[in-house]
Amino acid sequence: MQNGKFITLEGIDGAGKSTHLAWLEDYLCSKGVKVVVTREPGGTAVGEQLRALLLDQRHTMHAETEALLMFAARREHLDKIILPAIQRGDWVVSDRFSDASFAYQGCGRGVAWEKLVLLEQWVQEDFYPDLTVYIDVPVMLGRERVNSVKAADRFESETDAFFDRVRTGYLERVRQFPQRMQILDGSLPLDEVRAALAGVMEHFWLNQALHEK
Ligand SMILES: Nc1ncnc2c1ncn2[C@@H]1O[C@H](COP(=O)(O)OP(=O)(O)OP(=O)(O)O)[C@@H](O)[C@H]1O
Ligand SMILES: [Mg+2]
């Protein structure tokens, strides 16, 4: 059976990931693809418990503890959801994946990049998303959007300086993986971001079709 694909959406809080993920699911369904929508941290029973721990405002934890818990949740996510779905031939779309660990725990919290590379290799071996869409927004804009919809969690209550570092981390990953990662300007009006995403998806879809011929 033909393998499925793995697509991830990345960006700081309020970038528009959830909004565009819903569109992406419809887009892929319209192509006749079976889609599994999931998120990180989370996506499994154990992962969702780890997510609750990680987002809980009452907890403080060492930056490396946070990184280890993120990768622990990811290990479970790969084992229970992502890899089985891809092996069935389904497409998996995840709201965040390991690029977020480099951005948040690496640049945001200061965990050594090399340690994250080691964790990534340990947990994923040579497995990477087939496509990652990074939605880039200025920190203030992301914050305004999130503040208008819900109360802040342990990450969302971080400073602007923290989110500036996170954004730098994402941009560094885009620089390292220019083929896999596509950057969208999330500060544009919603329909323009969607049109740009549609362009990225059409390109990706055509490329897949060409490779499978
Ligand atoms: N390009 C845009 N223009 C205007 N509003 C937008 C745009 N993108 C998203 N929004 C709005 O901003 C809010 C946050 O968007 P969304 O929940 O999709 O972000 P997110 O990246 O999933 O955030 P989080 O990381 O907190 O889950 C929503 O109310 C959404 O409608
Ligand atoms: Mg969201």
Reduced to 3 DSSP states, what percent helix, strand and coil does the chain have, rounded to the nearest 5? 60, 10, 30
CATH of domain 6-212: 3.40.50.300
| End-to-end C-alpha distance for the chain, whole angstroms | 15
Identify whether the C-beta of residue 92 lies closer than 8 Å to the C-beta of residue 36. Answer: yes
Decide if pLDDT at 213 tops 90. no
The protein residue with its alpha carbon nearest to ligand 1, atom 14, reads 14
Q: What is the pLDDT of residue 185?
A: 98
- Ordered DSSP codes for 59-82: ----HHHHHHHHHHHHHHHIIIII
91, 5 Cβ separation under 8 angstroms: yes
Q: How many helices (H) and strands (E) does the chain have?
A: 9, 5
pLDDT at 2 over 80: no
Question: Which residue blocks in 56-189 are alpha helix, DSSP H?
Answer: 63-77, 83-88, 98-100, 113-124, 139-147, 160-176
Task: Determine the average pLDDT of the residues in 100-118.
Answer: 98
Domain ranges of the chain: 6-212
Structure confidence at residue 151 (pLDDT): 73
Q: What is the pLDDT of residues 29-85, one digit of tens each?
A: 999 999 999 999 999 999 999 999 999 999 999 999 999 999 999 999 999 999 999
Question: Mind listing the pLDDT tens digit for each residue in 200-209?
Answer: 999 999 998 8
Q: Say if residue 103 carries a ligand binding annotation.
A: no
Six token digits for residue 67: 């990184």
Over 60: is that where the pLDDT of 172 sits?
yes
The answer to whether the annotation marks 15 as part of a ligand binding site is yes
Exposure pattern of 73-110 as b/e (b: 16+ CB <10 Å)? bbbbbbebbbeebbeeebbbbbbbbbbbbbbbbbbbbe
Choose the residue to mutate in 10, 13, 18 for probing ligand 1, maximizing ligand atoms within 8 Å of C-beta.
Answer: 18
And the tokens for 212? 């499978």
Atom of ligand 1 nearest to the CA of 186: 1
Distance 172 CA to ligand 1 centre (A): 23
177-210 residue pLDDT tens: 999 999 999 999 999 999 999 999 999 999 988 8
Say if residue 1's pLDDT is above 50. Answer: no
Rounded distance, CA 146 to CA 152, Å? 8
- Cβ proximity of 83 and 92 under 8 Å: no
